[in-house]
């Protein structure tokens, strides 16, 4: 079962490593991040800059096309602050 939650400090370390390894141009500084987890493994994440800049959503290869990116986006929209 997949759960989506706000990223912890440990999750942010993993996200930074993924972004660097795959050269994904998303910045975490000043951003809110959520992750999708399945069996204690990160399978996707979303990053949105405070102030509503374009979000970055990444899904691991094996889960692409499953609707997970849409679930991450929905979670981010539901939990967005009033400034977005």
Q: Are 7 and 33 in contact (CB under 8 A)?
A: yes
Domains in the chain, CATH or no CATH each: 2-78 (3.40.630.30)
Give residue-wise pLDDT tens across range 4-58. 999 999 999 999 999 999 998 888 888 889 999 999 899 999 998 877 667 889 8
Q: Are 59 and 73 in contact (CB under 8 A)?
A: no
* pTM of the predicted protein model: 0.81
């Amino acid at each position: 079962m997949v759960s989506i939650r706000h990223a912890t400090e440990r999750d942010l370390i993993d996200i930074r490593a993924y972004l660097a390894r795959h050269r994904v141009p998303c910045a975490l500084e000043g951003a809110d991040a959520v992750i999708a987890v399945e069996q204690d493994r990160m399978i996707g994440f979303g990053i949105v800059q405070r102030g509503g800049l374009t979000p970055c959503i990444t899904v691991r290869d094996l889960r692409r096309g499953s609707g997970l990116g849409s679930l991450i986006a929905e979670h981010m929209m539901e939990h967005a602050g009033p400034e977005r």
